[in-house]
Amino acid sequence: MRPAAFFIAVDPIPAGAEPSRPGRFRVSIAGMKRFALLPLALVAFAAPLAAQQPDRCAAGVTSAKDAASGGIVRDLVVNGEDQRLVLLSPPAPRATLLMLPGGTGKLDIRCDGTFGHPDNFLVRTRALWLARGYAVLLPDAAGNRTLRGRRSTPAYGQTVRALVAFAKEHIDRPVILMGTSQGSIAALNGAATLRDGEIAALVLTESVSRLGGSGETVFDAHPEAVNVPVLVVANADDACFVAPPQDAPKIVASLTQSPSAQLLSLSGGVLKSKPCGSLSPHGYYRIEDQAVAAIAHWIDARLK
């Protein structure tokens, strides 16, 4: 891995300061004059500009589960909001999977790389993806507030843009967006925003296709604008009322500009949580190996 070229030094944010409080640093084009000796590539056309937060997490992941990956935890400010993320990678990754979880989006990523909310399918399977040669980038909820109702917005599309830029700056490999449940809205929005070759493919799993508490679905994220290959995964045993498997063909049909939109049907799983919870067929609970293997087979074919 190599350091992120778009990081710039800023004054520390006081411990406990909230995004709207005085004392948070500000960046403007005019203010960049102080950094005139930096290569122009560090600041040119950064949209949105993502800056590293000082005096927060140390660089290395120390949790026993992930330390072998040589992972890092970073705090950024993207679109004026705190954005913590963890990046894990095998020695020679084939690609980076930018994983966008569902629910509120809150993972509670700690400085040692552990998760306060570890049950999400994408979080649970990170070791499986690393073993298959993929790097994994998992972002926490922007601003440490719920992402419900925000994932289909243009602003969140730009947040995904910044996360993709971060991934590419650290690992010079293709980036694939992967969303699950509500996170599929964010992944699809990112793919609809990034139409100039920034990403290689899109994977949507158990996608929210019917209105619920968040007030948005994948159909609000402009699927007609996506121009990369897409895999839509649906579990026939998913009983989540906002992500019925029978809607998966409609999602595929909405991807009118994708050069290849395919449906992958799975079945099985154990219900331990609520039907829309992570520990259920909706989250591929107890069929994680089967789900990862099937998705990885499709991704592998796209990278050949």
The answer to whether position 41 is within a domain reads: no
Backbone angles phi, psi at 236, to 5 degrees: -60, -20
Give me the pLDDT at residue 144, please.
86
pTM summary value = 0.81
CATH no. for residue 268? 3.40.50.1820
**What per-residue string of b and e applies to 99-123 under the rule 16 or more CB within 10 Å gives b?**
bbbbbebbbebbbbbbbebebbbbb
In one letter, which amino acid is 34?
Answer: R
Residue 189: inside a domain, yes or no?
A: yes
Cross-strand partners of 74: 85
| Phi and psi, residue 262, nearest 5° | -125, 150
Q: In sequence order, what DSSP letters do the residues of 140-175 get, joined into one string?
A: --GGGS--TTTTTSHHHHHHHHHHHHHHHHH--S-E
Number of domains making up the chain? 1
- For residue 103, give the nearest of 189, 210, 214 by alpha carbon: 214
pLDDT, one tens digit per residue, over 162-188 is: 999 999 999 999 999 999 999 999 999
- Whole-angstrom distance, CA of residue 20 vs CA of residue 18: 6
Contact by Cβ (8 Å): 84, 139: yes
Q: How far apart are CA 289 and CA 293, in angstroms?
A: 6
Q: What is the pLDDT of residue 202?
A: 98
Would you give the DSSP letter of residue 201? E
Q: Where are the alpha helices (DSSP H) in the chain?
A: 121-124, 126-131, 154-170, 183-193, 248-254, 288-303
In a domain, 50, yes or no: no
Residue 52 in tokens: 């590293």
With a cut of 50, list the residues of the chain below it in pLDDT.
1-49, 52-55, 64
In a domain, 16, yes or no: no
* Domain coverage including residue 92: 56-303
Residue 143 pLDDT: 87
For residue 136, the model assigns a pLDDT of 98
> Is residue 133 in a domain?
yes
Res 50: pLDDT: 55
